[in-house]
Amino acid sequence: MKRSFLAGVALASVIGAAGAAQAAVIVAPVSVSVTSGGTVGSFWTVDNVIDQSGLTRTYIPGVTDFDAFVAEPNRHSGVLNTEWFSHRDSRSAQLTFDFGQEVTLYKLAIWDENNSSQQSMSISTPALGLIRSFAPRENSGSPYPGGEVFEFRPITTRYLTLDITGCGTKPQFNSVDYCGLGEIIFADGSGVAAVPEPATWALMIGGFGMAGAMLRRRQRLALA
C-alpha cells in the first residue's frame, strides 16, 4: 500500500508539473511587415495591429498579464488609423512579426476586423513551419468586442508569420474584397510546462513499475 501511495504521489507530481500553466505576460513585436497583400492606404497601415491605437485599454509589454488583459472588457474602436487593410481585390494576405530577439510564445489574442470576413488564419515560423490554423470569430459593427484567444504548443522564434485567407468571401460581405485586422497580442510561453507526448507518459509509467519491482525484490532479498 505504501509503495502504491508513493508511486501515485510521484506520478501526480509529474502530471501537475506538466500541466501547470504559469501566469504569462504580453510579449510585443518590435515591428510587423506586410509580406503579401499590401496595404490599401495611409490610414490603414499594418503598424496599427500592434500599436494599441484602437483598444479601449492598453498594456505594458513584459509586464501586463495576458489572461487578465484579455479578460477585461477591452473593445476595439475600428475607426480610422486603428486597423490594417490589404489592397482591394485581395482575398489573402500575409503579415510577418519581428520580436527583435528569440521569444517563446504559446497563445495569441486577435481583435478581428468587423467587415473583411476572413475565413481562416494560420501561424508559422521559418524553422518550424505551420504551427496552427484557426478561424476567427466574425465581429459585427464597431466598436467590436474583446480579443479572441487561440493557444498552441510553446514555440521559440524571432519571426512569426500570420497567413490570412478567404477574405471577403462570406455572402453578407460580398462588396468587401480585402483582408483586415484590428489588433493582435501574444503571450510569453517561457514558463509554460510542455505536456509530455503519449510515448513519454508510457516511459514514465513503466519507470514507476520498474521502481516498484526493484523495491519488492530488495525487500524479498532482505527477508531471505
Residue whose grid cell is 501586463: 64
Count the helix, strand and coil residues of the chain and give each as a percent rounded to the nearest 5.
Answer: 25, 35, 40
Superfamily of chain region 23-188: Galactose-binding domain-like (2.60.120.260)
**pLDDT of residue 9 exceeding 50:** no
Residue range 1-14: mean pLDDT, rounded: 46
Tell which residue, 185, 180, 161, has the closest CA to residue 39. Answer: 180
Domain layout of the chain by residue ranges: 2-11+197-223, 23-188
CB-based contacts of 155, cutoff 8 Å, min separation 6: 104, 105, 106, 125, 128, 131, 189
**pLDDT of residue 133 exceeding 60:** yes
**pLDDT of residue 12 exceeding 60:** no
pLDDT tens string 70-102: 998 889 988 889 999 999 888 899 999 999 999
Report which of residues 146 and 17 the model is more confident about.
146
Q: Residue 215 — very low, low, confident or very high, per pLDDT cuts 50/70/90?
A: low
pLDDT tens string 170-201: 655 555 678 989 999 999 999 885 444 444 44
Mean pLDDT, the chain, rounded, equals 81
